[in-house]
Chains A and B, each alone.
Chain A
Amino acid sequence: MPVQAAPSSSIVALHGVGKTFPNGTTALAGLDLDVRQGEFVSLLGPSGCGKSTALRIIAGLSEPSSGTVEWRQQDAHPGSESRIGFVFQEPTLMPWTSVFNNVLLPLKLKGIAGDKAGASVTAALDRVGLQGFAQAYPRELSGGMRMRVSIARALVTEPDLLLMDEPFAALDEITRFKLNNDLLDVWHALRTTVVFVTHSVFESVYLSSRVVVMAARPGRVFTELLIDAPYPRGQDFRTSAEYAAFCRRTSEALAQAMQAGGGQ
């Protein structure tokens, strides 16, 4: 995978990325995606459009079959000092140890230990509102709190790029709205860049500065919409006519993308 310098506005760019699995399934073909510094971009699309695959390729967990992935900073490349945080669909915590040790894991794997690591863990837990739960075990927490631990773990290395793969899909709506707001707060406070995979139109519009709509068979970018409503967004935005209009336009784009992809 060649690594070159990309324009300064983008943190990572995919050029004509394709992915074909050994069983012959083509998950992605000719995917172009430019992720810019500081933005909150959502990948929206039906199941099978390759949005999770695209995220895994950005993370370096999967190699593209064709095309290139370009990083702006050398040090942002996953092969070197990792500046990426990844949040999976499930909380993906180690059930055998405490919340503290789960959040400590990325630092421990990088050989960072001691008081400094402990302070980073405490700060990350504070940021997601889990003060006082450091010694709890994952089993003892609710689904929403486990997802918060997962986010704290992704934040503990202070990543430049936060990749999230449908993190709130399994949560109830009340918890999901709360986590949406908290995620926006974290994003704002840390000035990080987020790539967020979702199949919810409403979630993508609420969170993102840009929504990339993908089509399936093969997975590719269909169109993209700029959600230029100002941040901070809250309950007022969620109930506004502006939000509804963005959602309608995004829904229409998604419907067209599904037709183009031969989806149901």
Chain B
Amino acid sequence: MSTSPNGDRVLRIALPIIVLALALPIWEMAVRLGNIPPYVLPPPLLILQTLIADWTVLWQSLLVTMLTTFQGFLLAAVGGVGLAVLFNQFRFLEYSLYPYAVILQVTPIVAIAPLLLIYLPQPLAVLFCAWIVAFFPVLANTTLGLNSIDRNLGDLFALYGASRGQVLWHLKLPSALPYILGGLRIAGGLSLIGAVVAEIAAGSAGAGSGLAYRIAESGYRLNIPRMCAALLLLSVAGIVIFYLLSLVNYLALRRWHESALEQER
């Protein structure tokens, strides 16, 4: 390696910023010199102005979307881990229900959302969508984790006459923790996607106030700068979710799991 670990870290932060610093002026200049109208491609400065001008509306919408995302994520986490534990403890439950969990996962959420909007009140339908999309990776990962115990450790627990509950609590769940956290990291991003998809589906039906609804609404009105501002907020929300979950992952695993250990050279 030609760079020290420290220099490497600086590069990893500095290079993306340089790329952004180069790209934004080019974008701004291209729009101005090419006389491109803002409803075709708004320049970055205009998007920033719109973001500030429409902040109250956008912020309210962001809160609505984030609340749905958070609730969906929480339900997915509890439901996914809980169901995986039940599946692990009771084989017949796994055999009976797992295929349906797969069906729920492989059917595109965009296709399910309109149906849900017919049966459920709009906020509940949106929450349900966020949950459906986020739930499966938690279930699948936790199931994998619970089945990945060290066999010798399993024998050791058997040797000391451990009960099923002790095996679950002291062996299976800790062994599964890295897998669970990996599933949650995927679920965080997916619950945002689920919430947005459902809001867009609901938005076309004329209801809703989330960020995705703002995007759909701005689209109809050809208010492209506001559309971009809302999109920017969504991206930032996704990034924040991802890094928060990565932080939780790091804090929980840093002392023992390969994935979170500092490189020693």
Contact = CB atoms under 8 A, between A and B. Distances in A.
Contacts of A90: 152
A82 B160 contact: yes
A60 B174 CA distance: 26
A95 B159 contact: no
Interface residues of A, number: 25
B175 to A, nearest CB: 8
Nearest 10 A/B pairs, CB to CB: A92-B152, A109-B160, A95-B256, A96-B174, A88-B152, A109-B162, A106-B160, A96-B256, A137-B255, A61-B155
Contacts of B150: 92
Contacts, number: 56
Contacts of B171: 94
A227 B159 CA distance: 31
A105 B169 CA distance: 12
Contacts of B257: 95-96
A86 interface: yes
Nearest to B158: A61
B104 to A, nearest CB: 32
A93 B172 CA distance: 14
A99 to B, nearest CB: 12
Given A92-B152, A105-B156, 19 more contacts: A56-B155, A59-B159, A61-B155, A61-B158, A78-B159, A82-B159, A84-B159, A89-B152, A94-B170, A94-B174, A95-B257, A96-B257, A97-B256, A109-B160, A110-B160, A137-B255, A137-B256, A139-B261, A157-B160
A59 B152 CA distance: 13
B177 interface: yes
B181 to A, nearest CB: 12
B37 interface: no
A244 B103 CA distance: 69
Contacts of B157: 109
B40 interface: no
A35 B77 CA distance: 52
A157 B158 CA distance: 15
**Majority secondary structure, B binding face:** helix
Listed residue (A56, A105, A137) with the most chain B CB atoms within 10 angstroms of its CB: A105
A138 interface: yes
A108 interface: yes
**Majority secondary structure, A binding face:** loop
Interface residues of B, number: 21
A105 B170 contact: yes
Nearest to A56: B155
B57 interface: no
B161 A94 contact: no
Given A92-B152, A92-B153, A105-B170, A139 B159 contact: no
20 contacts: A61-B155, A61-B158, A61-B159, A78-B159, A82-B159, A86-B159, A88-B152, A90-B152, A92-B150, A94-B171, A94-B174, A96-B256, A105-B156, A106-B160, A108-B170, A109-B157, A109-B170, A110-B161, A139-B261, A157-B160
A64 to B, nearest CB: 16
B166 interface: yes
Contacts of A138: 256
B60 to A, nearest CB: 42
Interface string B138-174: 0000000000001011011111111000100011001
Interface in A96-129: 96-97, 105-106, 108-110
A139 B158 CA distance: 24
B125 to A, nearest CB: 39
A169 to B, nearest CB: 14
Contacts of B177: 96
Contacts of A84: 159
B159 A92 contact: no
B136 to A, nearest CB: 25
